[in-house]
Chains A and B, each alone.
Chain A
Amino acid sequence: MSEADMNEKDDGEISRIYAATPRDEPSAAMDEAILASAHNATPDKRAVHANSFHWTRLAGIAATLVIAASLAVLMQDEQPDIAVLAPPSRDAAIAPMAKVPNEALQPAETAQQSMAPGRGDSRTRDRTDRPERNSGPVQSDQQQAQPEASPSRADTTMAAGGAPERRAFPVAPAPASSPASAEPALQSSGVAAAGVAARQYSGATAERSRPQSAESTTRNLADAGASRSIESPQAWLARIEALRKQGRIREADDSFAEFRKRYPDFPLPGPGPSFPNPDR
């Protein structure tokens, strides 16, 4: 055994004897004081985490409630419109227009009448009044019609009017003091919304089965205000035919030109004496 080994053994003996000495330890009170000091010096992460979790959870619940309440309000506001605007089928949506043939010639005038009380009110009332107005006497509308009311003006104002507004949320009353202001209001808000509703709720299957031009024309019709102010192309053509038969050729030509402006793609019933050459 080397000297180093002997020293290690002797050192081990000293260590063993020292280990047998009383194991003095700090008092429990001192331990508590030191540990308390250590805890106080350090923020309790678990508590902070629990608080933050609690806070985020509450915030999440509150946000969910707010969103749910907003959606409920939105749905409550939109459902009546849908119910009113949505006819059971596309034919039903278009049919009333056929009963008011002359309104198509004077959209501005019709819009003026319907929108005069104010856009917000009129929209709701128009929807609810639609059956009565559609079933009303056509003659009265014809008498009120202004021949010089130009659809081209309507196109212009619609193009300048920008995107259609949301329906069922009248933010501010529309200016309805003049036909020029009432017309874009009609076309940009209520009519467009009615068109959207008509597209949504009309028979999609029947629409698919129709020719493309008729479909697009019908869609244009719906978009332009299918509810009540524009007559159907068929009715319009029938009226033109009637004018021709009455000898009112000039009026028939003007009306047909107007018709072509509005429905450039609408197929004519067939080449006949009543209608000028489409390529004219």
Chain B
Amino acid sequence: MGNGSPYPEAVSVIPNASARLSPVKSPIADEELMLRYAAGDAAAFEQLYARHRGGLFRYITRQCGDRGAAEELYQDVWSGVIEARKRYRVEARFATWLYTLAHNRLIDWYRKSSRVVWVDFGGDEDEPEIDIAAQRHWQPEVRTESRQLAQAMLELLAALPPQQREAFLLYEEGGLSVEEIAAATGAGIETAKSRLRYAIAKLRLGLQDLT
């Protein structure tokens, strides 16, 4: 509007201007791709898979800690997506639905493998108090090599309680919001928010100790 035109620049009717200013064509939404796949378009699944393969794989791998089991679970999750394509309804973001499937597979795997680490699906009342405000001015990049930090991050992540780690991984890898994390894990929103806050605080604290 700064050029005096009565129209917003995004809807300019001048061909050359619109060619210059037109935004990049938005990609097809995950949900649309899933619907297309449910309708028989295998190419839509390929796009969907390419978008989520890395994040889902890292979520499962880092959550279960067993590479072999993670690969099996990963394949199992995608098989669930394929099988559920006919029942798929757009009631939430596809990512939320996908990570809900993965979460459920992980729970099943934990139960089968007797790794009863996170039987408590409640809140995090037992967590020790962390002074988050005291870590505000932490600047790790100044004093520590990034490679070391990344390695330390993975170690700290593995040391987190499973619920907090899951909340963090869903946040980072799945791009889920607090509400979506709550939906995917079956927890309340405040619980999910608390888990995420604790996870981040512990990671920051651990990294601060390294530096």
Q: Does residue B132 face the partner (Cβ distance < 8 Å to A)? A: yes
Contact of B153 among A3, A18, A42 (CB under 8 A): A18
Please indicate the chain A residues that have their CB under 8 angstroms from the CB of B58 in the complex.
Answer: 23-25
Q: What's the least CB distance linking B32 to chain A, in Å?
A: 16
Contact of A18 among B37, B54, B139, B172 (CB under 8 A): B172
Please indicate the chain B residues that have their CB under 8 angstroms from the CB of A31 in the complex.
Answer: 49, 53
* A25 touching B150 in the complex, CB below 8 Å, given contacts A6-B136, A17-B207, A38-B49: no
**Is A17 in contact with B149, judged by CB distance below 8 angstroms?**
yes
* A35 touching B203 in the complex, CB below 8 Å, given contacts A13-B138, A13-B140: no
CA distance A198 to B168 in the complex (A): 98
**Is A26 in contact with B135, judged by CB distance below 8 angstroms?**
no
Please indicate the chain B residues that have their CB under 8 angstroms from the CB of A280 in the complex.
Answer: none
Measured as residues with beta carbon below 8 angstroms from the partner, the interface class of chain A is 20 to 34
Please indicate the chain B residues that have their CB under 8 angstroms from the CB of A20 in the complex.
Answer: 146-147, 149-150, 153
Please indicate the chain A residues that have their CB under 8 angstroms from the CB of B157 in the complex.
Answer: 18
Q: What's the least CB distance linking B171 to chain A, in Å?
A: 8
**Is A45 in contact with B40, judged by CB distance below 8 angstroms?**
yes
Encode contact with A along B35-57: 1 for CB under 8 Å, 0 otherwise: 00100111001100100011001
Q: What's the least CB distance linking B100 to chain A, in Å?
A: 18
Contact of A39 among B42, B75, B83 (CB under 8 A): B42
CA distance A269 to B168 in the complex (A): 118
Q: Does residue B85 face the partner (Cβ distance < 8 Å to A)? A: yes
CA distance A45 to B157 in the complex (A): 44
Q: What's the least CB distance linking B192 to chain A, in Å?
A: 15
* A26 touching B57 in the complex, CB below 8 Å, given contacts A39-B42, A41-B82: yes
**Is A21 in contact with B154, judged by CB distance below 8 angstroms?**
yes
CA distance A6 to B83 in the complex (A): 44
Q: Does residue B133 face the partner (Cβ distance < 8 Å to A)? A: yes
Please indicate the chain A residues that have their CB under 8 angstroms from the CB of B200 in the complex.
Answer: 10-11, 14
**Is A42 in contact with B37, judged by CB distance below 8 angstroms?**
yes
A25's nearest neighbour on chain B, judged by CB, is B54
**Number of contacting residues on B, CB 8 A?**
43
B62's nearest neighbour on chain A, judged by CB, is A24
A1's nearest neighbour on chain B, judged by CB, is B136
CA distance A7 to B133 in the complex (A): 8
Encode contact with A along B64-88: 1 for CB under 8 Å, 0 otherwise: 0000000100110011001101000
Please indicate the chain A residues that have their CB under 8 angstroms from the CB of B57 in the complex.
Answer: 24-26
**Is B49 in contact with A34, judged by CB distance below 8 angstroms?**
yes
CA distance A33 to B75 in the complex (A): 9
* A17 touching B49 in the complex, CB below 8 Å, given contacts A25-B54, A30-B71, A41-B82: no
CA distance A232 to B19 in the complex (A): 86
CA distance A68 to B61 in the complex (A): 68
Q: Does residue B204 face the partner (Cβ distance < 8 Å to A)? A: yes
Which residues of B line the A interface, CB within 8 A?
A: 37, 40-42, 45-46, 49, 53-54, 57-58, 61-62, 71, 74-75, 78-79, 82-83, 85, 132-133, 135-136, 138-141, 146-147, 149-151, 153-154, 157, 168, 172, 200, 203-204, 207
Which residues of A line the B interface, CB within 8 A?
A: 3, 6-7, 10-11, 13-15, 17-27, 30-31, 33-35, 37-39, 41-45
Give me 9 A-to-B residue pairs in the complex whose CB atoms sit less than 8 angstroms apart, sorted by A's number. Answer: A7-B136, A18-B168, A24-B57, A24-B58, A34-B78, A38-B78, A42-B40, A43-B40, A45-B40
- For the complex of A and B, list the 7 residue pairs with the smallest distance between their C-beta atoms, beginning with the closest: A20-B150, A38-B45, A21-B150, A34-B78, A6-B136, A39-B42, A26-B57
